[in-house]
Amino acid sequence: MRTPSLDRGAQRSRGDFWRGLGPPETGRELALRVLHRVEREGAFANIALQAALARSSLSEAERELATELVLGVLRWRARLDWTLQANCGRPLGELPPAIRQVLRMGAYQVLFLQRVPAAVAVSSGVDLAKRYGHRGTAALVNAVLRRVAREGEAALPQAPDHRLAVLGSHPLWLVRRWLTRWPQDEVRALCKANNTPPTAHVRVNTLRASPSAVADRLARAGLEVERGALPESLRVRGPLGPRLTLAEEGWIVAQDEAAMVVAHAVDPQPGELVVDACAAPGGKATHLAALMGDQGRVVACDVHPRKVEVLARRARVLGAGCVEARRCDARSLDVRGAHRVLVDAPCTGLGVVRRRPEIRWRVQPEDLPRAAAVQREILLGASRAVREGGVLVYSVCSTEPEEGEGVVQWIVASGGFMPEPFRVPWGDGTLEAQDGTLRLWPHRHGTDGYFVARLRRT
Taking residues 352-364, what's their average pLDDT?
97
Amino acid of residue 185: D
pLDDT at 458 exceeding the cut of 50: yes
Taking residues 109-136, what's their average pLDDT?
95
Overall fold of domain 200-254: Alpha-Beta Plaits (3.30.70)
CA torsion angle 47 352 31 92 (round to 10)? 130
Q: Span 257-457: which CATH code?
A: 3.40.50.150
**Confidence grade of residue 116 (pLDDT, cut at 50, 70, 90):** very high
pLDDT at 288 exceeding the cut of 60: yes
Q: With CA atoms as reference, report the closest residue to 338 among 293, 290, 381.
A: 381
Mean pLDDT of the chain: 94
pLDDT of residue 379: 97
pLDDT of residue 20: 65
Domain residue ranges of the chain, discontinuous segments joined by +: 6-151, 160-194, 200-254, 257-457
Encode pLDDT of 161-193 as tens digits: 999 999 999 999 999 999 999 999 999 999 999
Given CA atoms 90, 91, 97, 102 in this order, what sign does their dihedral have?
positive
- 70, 136, 155 from 141: Cα distances, Å: 19, 9, 21
pLDDT of residue 18: 60
Q: Is residue 397 annotated as a catalytic residue, yes or no? A: yes
* Rounded Cα–Cα distance for residues 144 and 86 (Å): 9
**Long-range contact set of residues 267-271: C-beta below 8 Å, sequence gap at least 24:** 267/291, 267/340, 267/391, 267/422, 268/292, 268/296, 268/298, 268/339, 268/340, 269/296, 269/339, 270/295, 270/296, 271/295, 271/296
Taking residues 229-254, what's their average pLDDT?
96
**377 neighbors 328 (Cβ within 8 angstroms):** no
Overall fold of domain 6-151: N-utilizing Substance Protein B Homolog; Chain A (1.10.940)
pLDDT at 11 exceeding the cut of 70: no
Encode pLDDT of 243-255 as tens digits: 999 999 999 999 9
Beta strands in 277-434 (DSSP E): 297-302, 323-327, 338-344, 386-396, 417-419, 422-426, 429-433
| Percent share of the chain, pLDDT over 70 | 96
> Who contacts 142 (Cβ-Cβ below 8 Å, separation ≥6)?
122, 125, 126, 129
Taking residues 406-413, what's their average pLDDT?
98
Of the ranges 87-96, 290-299, 398-407, which one carries the lowest mean pLDDT score? 87-96
pLDDT at 6 exceeding the cut of 60: no
pLDDT of residue 3: 33
More confident call, 17 vs 55: 55
Taking residues 55-76, what's their average pLDDT?
96
Q: For 23, how many CA atoms within 13 A lie in the half-sphere containing its CB?
A: 11
Phi, psi dihedral angles at 209 (to 5 degrees): -155, 170
**Confidence grade of residue 21 (pLDDT, cut at 50, 70, 90):** confident
> Who contacts 230 (Cβ-Cβ below 8 Å, separation ≥6)?
203, 257, 260, 261, 264, 424, 425, 426
Q: With CA atoms as reference, report the closest residue to 58 among 35, 24, 34.
A: 24
pLDDT of residue 19: 61
- Please indicate whether the domains covering 6-151 and 257-457 agree at the CATH topology level: no
Q: With CA atoms as reference, report the closest residue to 447 among 246, 193, 254.
A: 193
